[in-house]
């Protein structure tokens, strides 16, 4: 299969090389735009005795490599990168259909969140940011050993495991360029972690502390990328929080690049930044108020006011950015009909400022490691009633936002309920998936309220936060839920 990508790292297999498969059980566009995967690939292929090839769900159904079409079952080790809980279904399918019998290692944010549903399906789990540590991981696996961050499946859930934090003083230089989520571009990872404290967000917890890369280093990497691309994507949980975001974007534009940030916060946008983003080729501004009412935004600790949102939209319009995409969540604890209606009102105000508005509505997943982890899915204790209410809210929003002229996309309540179950689940959940026997109604118990004094399956993962502080944060939030 011909693949339209520039791959300066690809290696040819020869006798004696050990084969390592890098499996992304989701679509190519997401996988190629993931700098973590690019790191792993480059690091393994730089080793003399190893070759790494990639597998994506939508290329040969994940059972043959992109580079050479070699079947997965011919590889010695398979590293699975699990970015989303729903990918468990695809990962299991890939393992089964490929008849892979080598060593299976799972890593990525889902492992850092809660790997318990996967313990009967993988041999090893890696906790943390693997860039710079891939060689140790591979060598330990081969010897049947563990490292501080690489743990055998049978020992998961016992003693505490510390999560590795990578050193950001260097940056990946040689990358594969394919047609990914940001288009054909070079990825510049400007930072990791986030300095904000949104109460629903797992990123700020599992990638803490917030770290930024030096502008000089990023510009050097961009200089080297000039011969391959005319576009760079700036990647971080909150790109425009970089202390020198404007300087970086302005310099990249001066070098002749189009610039695409992976995320911007509405409250960081001012005239100068929006003008720069527009000059950098941004055609659509994505902002995430998450809630329509000030009360719900306080609960989510989003730190974005209605004024910030309207200011961002009017600056976008002024600088020729004609489309605004807005993200909202529903099913929040204590959410009233007025709070849901406030989403429609806010979108309506934005719609009066910019020609095109698209809205994405997602139910809240009370993620492990966040202060909302004890809350029930759907926002109320009676889970069935919560599911019903969620569906009604989504229906209402689709209808009302459509009337206001916004285009609306909304995931089903069921798919987010499944995400919640997988993120909170244990072996029993994983077994049902492996046996092709997973039914949402069998696992409703995982969607309910969690008692605050309960030991949680993911308590063994040490992200560096203290559970008692998380509980205090939750207590403060509870005063807003009524």
Q: Which residues in 2-31 contact ligand SF4 (CB under 6 A)?
A: none
Q: What single DSSP character describes residue 446?
A: G
Q: What single DSSP character describes residue 240?
A: G
Write out the two tokens for 57. 């769900």
Write out the two tokens for 157. 């859930």
What is the rounded distance in angstroms from the CA atom of residue 458 to the CA atom of residue 161? 10
Per CB under 6 A, does 463 bind ligand SF4?
Answer: no
Per CB under 6 A, does 203 bind ligand SF4?
Answer: yes
What is the rounded distance in angstroms from the CA atom of residue 122 to the CA atom of residue 118? 6
Q: Segment contacting ligand SF4 (CB under 6 A): 118-126, 193-201, 291-299, 379-387?
A: 193-201
Per CB under 6 A, does 194 bind ligand SF4?
Answer: yes
What is the rounded distance in angstroms from the CA atom of residue 150 to the CA atom of residue 162? 10
Q: Which residues in 220-259 contact ligand SF4 (CB under 6 A)?
A: 237-238
Minimum distance of ligand SF4 from residue 470's CB (angstroms): 14
Question: Which CB atom, from 201 or from 357, has the smaller least distance to ligand SF4?
Answer: 201
Question: Which CB atom, from 25 or from 36, has the smaller least distance to ligand SF4?
Answer: 36
Please report the DSSP string for 40-74 in residue order: HHHHHHTSTTEEEEEEETTSGGGSB-TTT--BGGG
Q: Which residues in 256-315 contact ligand SF4 (CB under 6 A)?
A: 265
What is the rounded distance in angstroms from the CA atom of residue 363 to the CA atom of residue 372? 13
Minimum distance of ligand SF4 from residue 108's CB (angstroms): 17
Helix, strand, coil shares of the chain, percent, nearest 5, are 40, 20, 40
Q: Segment contacting ligand SF4 (CB under 6 A): 33-41, 54-62, 96-104, 191-199?
A: 191-199
What is the rounded distance in angstroms from the CA atom of residue 472 to the CA atom of residue 477? 9
What is the rounded distance in angstroms from the CA atom of residue 397 to the CA atom of residue 304? 21
Minimum distance of ligand SF4 from residue 231's CB (angstroms): 23
Q: Segment contacting ligand SF4 (CB under 6 A): 39-47, 180-188, 201-209, 436-444?
A: 201-209
Write out the two tokens for 445. 């118990």
Q: Which of 19, 54, 104, 196 binds ligand SF4 (CB under 6 A)?
A: 196
Question: Which CB atom, from 164 or from 204, has the smaller least distance to ligand SF4?
Answer: 204
Minimum distance of ligand SF4 from residue 141's CB (angstroms): 32
Minimum distance of ligand SF4 from residue 330's CB (angstroms): 16
Give the position of tokens 């919640």. 420
Q: Is the peptide bond before 282 cis (omega within 30 degrees of 0)?
A: no
Question: Which CB atom, from 201 or from 342, has the smaller least distance to ligand SF4?
Answer: 201
Q: Segment contacting ligand SF4 (CB under 6 A): 165-173, 196-204, 348-356, 430-438?
A: 196-204
Question: Which CB atom, from 327 or from 444, has the smaller least distance to ligand SF4?
Answer: 327
Nearest of 200, 422, 457 to residue 332 by alpha carbon: 200
Nearest of 412, 432, 436, 437 to residue 422 by alpha carbon: 432
Q: Segment contacting ligand SF4 (CB under 6 A): 70-78, 132-140, 170-178, 198-206?
A: 198-206
10 Å CB burial of residue 166 (0-12, 13-18, 19+) is middle
Q: Which residues in 61-120 contact ligand SF4 (CB under 6 A)?
A: none
Give the position of tokens 């406030």. 342
Per CB under 6 A, does 365 bind ligand SF4?
Answer: no
Question: Which CB atom, from 194 or from 434, has the smaller least distance to ligand SF4?
Answer: 194
Question: Which CB atom, from 161 or from 201, has the smaller least distance to ligand SF4?
Answer: 201
Minimum distance of ligand SF4 from residue 329's CB (angstroms): 11
3-state secondary structure of 94: helix
Question: Which CB atom, from 52 or from 198, has the smaller least distance to ligand SF4?
Answer: 198
Q: Which of 138, 176, 198, 245 binds ligand SF4 (CB under 6 A)?
A: 198
Give the number of residues in contact with ligand SF4, rule: CB under 6 A: 9
Question: Which CB atom, from 203 or from 354, has the smaller least distance to ligand SF4?
Answer: 203
Beta strand ranges found along 119-182 (DSSP E): 124-126, 150-152, 161-162, 179-180
Q: Which of 54, 204, 297, 424 binds ligand SF4 (CB under 6 A)?
A: 204
Minimum distance of ligand SF4 from residue 9's CB (angstroms): 30
| Per-residue exposure over 268-297, b if at least 16 CB sit within 10 Å of its own CB, e if not | bbeeebbbbbbbbebeebbbbbbbbbebbb
Per CB under 6 A, does 332 bind ligand SF4?
Answer: no
Question: Which CB atom, from 94 or from 343, has the smaller least distance to ligand SF4?
Answer: 343
Between helix 271-279 and helix 245-254 the angle, nearest 10°, is: 30
Question: Which CB atom, from 102 or from 371, has the smaller least distance to ligand SF4?
Answer: 371
Going 423 to 427 to 433 to 437, the CA torsion angle's sign is: negative
Minimum distance of ligand SF4 from residue 58's CB (angstroms): 27
Minimum distance of ligand SF4 from residue 54's CB (angstroms): 27
Do the Cβ atoms of 353 and 386 come closer than 8 Å?
no
Q: Segment contacting ligand SF4 (CB under 6 A): 94-102, 125-133, 190-198, 226-234?
A: 190-198
Going 245 to 40 to 179 to 108, the CA torsion angle's sign is: negative
- Contacts to ligand SF4 by CB under 6 A: 194, 196, 198, 201, 203-204, 237-238, 265
């Amino acid at each position: 299969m011909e693949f339209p990508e520039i791959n300066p790292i690809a290696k040819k297999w020869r006798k004696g090389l050990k084969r390592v498969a890098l499996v992304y059980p989701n679509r190519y566009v997401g996988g190629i735009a993931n700098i973590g995967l690019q790191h792993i690939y480059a690091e393994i292929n730089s080793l003399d005795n190893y070759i790494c090839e990639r597998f994506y769900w939508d290329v040969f159904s994940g059972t043959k490599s992109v580079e050479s079409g070699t079947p997965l079952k011919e590889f010695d080790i398979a590293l699975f990168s699990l970015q989303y809980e729903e990918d468990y279904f695809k990962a299991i399918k890939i393992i089964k259909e490929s008849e892979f019998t080598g060593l299976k290692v799972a890593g990525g944010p889902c492992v850092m969140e809660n790997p318990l549903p996967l313990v009967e399906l993988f041999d090893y789990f890696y906790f943390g940011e693997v860039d710079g540590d891939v060689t140790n991981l591979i060598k330990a696996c081969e010897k049947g050993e563990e490292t501080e961050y690489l743990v055998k499946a049978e020992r998961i859930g016992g003693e505490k495991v510390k999560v590795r934090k990578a050193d950001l003083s260097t940056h990946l230089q040689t990358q594969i360029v394919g047609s990914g989520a940001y288009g054909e571009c070079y990825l510049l990872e400007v930072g990791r972690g986030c300095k904000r404290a949104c109460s629903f967000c797992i990123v700020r917890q599992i990638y803490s502390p917030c770290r930024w890369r030096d502008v000089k280093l990023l510009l050097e990497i961009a200089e080297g990328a000039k011969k391959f691309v005319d576009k760079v994507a700036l990647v971080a949980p909150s790109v425009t929080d970089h202390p020198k975001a404007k300087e970086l974007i302005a310099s990249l534009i001066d070098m002749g690049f189009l610039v695409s940030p992976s995320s911007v916060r509405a409250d960081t946008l001012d005239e100068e930044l929006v003008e720069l983003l527009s000059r950098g080729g941004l055609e659509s501004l994505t902002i995430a108020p998450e809630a329509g009412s000030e009360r719900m935004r306080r609960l989510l600790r989003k730190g974005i006011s209605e004024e910030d949102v309207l200011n961002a939209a009017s600056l976008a319009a002024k600088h020729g950015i004609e489309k605004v995409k807005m993200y909202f969540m529903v099913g929040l604890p204590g959410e009233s009909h007025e709070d849901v209606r406030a989403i429609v009102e806010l979108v309506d105000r934005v719609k009066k400022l910019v020609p095109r508005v698209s809205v994405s509505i997602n139910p809240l997943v009370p993620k492990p490691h966040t202060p909302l982890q004890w809350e029930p899915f759907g926002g109320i204790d009676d889970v069935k009633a919560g599911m019903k209410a969620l569906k009604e809210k989504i229906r209402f929003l689709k209808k009302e936002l459509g009337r206001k002229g916004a285009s609306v996309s909304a995931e089903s309540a069921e798919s987010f309920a499944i995400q919640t179950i997988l993120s909170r689940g244990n072996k029993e959940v994983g077994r049902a998936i492996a046996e092709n026997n997973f039914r949402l109604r069998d696992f409703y118990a995982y969607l309910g309220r969690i008692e605050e004094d309960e030991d949680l399956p993911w308590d063994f993962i040490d992200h560096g936060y203290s559970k008692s502080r998380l509980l205090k944060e939750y207590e403060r939030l509870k005063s807003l839920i009524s």
